[in-house]
Amino acid sequence: MSKLRLAAQLLRMESLRLLHRCGWPGLAGGMLLVATVTVAQIVTPAMRDEISELTQTRRNLRQTAPGATPQREQREVLADFYARFPARSQLPQILVRLHQEAARQQLIATQADYRDQVEAGTPLVRVRIEVPVSGSYAGLRSWIDTLLRQQPALSLDGLELRRPDTGSTQLTARVRFQLYLRSGS
């Protein structure tokens, strides 16, 4: 017999003796040990490669995007956003258009209340506008719709409707708007 066959036969006999001594639980434990070592030998290098790739990517991102750039971009985006609001100096023209559009819709605006308030932390001023009007329901809806379409910085804050009687086509309304303007100009 060759030495290789002798070694294989010896290994086989030793394995059978060990199996007989340890039983099936020992064999299962041994197989789990062999499987764990095999998986560790295959998976660990792949994980190390992935970790080193991620570390390199992080380094590259830190070098190409210094900390000041995102803040500067955020400031520019905010400045562009605020620049889209009408200037505070345009308030009289906006109010004139509001009343002209009411008259065009055959609404009667008896008076108007205007209050402004600086919005903390922003360059905006909020103007609260309350206008009591009387006229037809269709005219009121058309007036509000036109104003909101013409002036994106205007929002409808409240609407109270009253009719003198159920058969009447005329109504009185209290309309509350909010208008946001850029302060300082």
pLDDT digit string, tens, across residues 66-97: 554 555 688 888 888 899 999 999 999 999 99
- As its CATH architecture, domain 85-182 has 2-Layer Sandwich (3.30)
**Residue with the two structure tokens 């086989």:** 12
Cα separation of 163 and 6, whole Å? 111
Higher pLDDT, 108 or 164: 108
What backbone phi and psi angles, to 5 degrees, belong to 156?
Answer: -85, 120
- pLDDT value, residue 69: 53
Average pLDDT over residues 122-128: 94
- pLDDT value, residue 115: 94
Average pLDDT over residues 44-70: 75
Most confident of 31-45, 69-83, 139-153: 139-153
Residue 156 has pLDDT above 90, yes or no: yes
Q: What percent of the chain has pLDDT over 70?
A: 94
User: What is the pLDDT of the chain when averaged over all its residues?
Assistant: 86
CB 171 within 8 A of CB 135: yes
Cite the residue boundaries of each domain of the chain with CATH code 3.30.70.60: 85-182
- pLDDT value, residue 71: 57
Average pLDDT over residues 120-134: 94
The pTM is what?
0.59
Nearest to 122 by CA among 150, 156, 83: 83
- pLDDT value, residue 68: 44
- pLDDT value, residue 146: 95
CB 147 within 8 A of CB 103: no
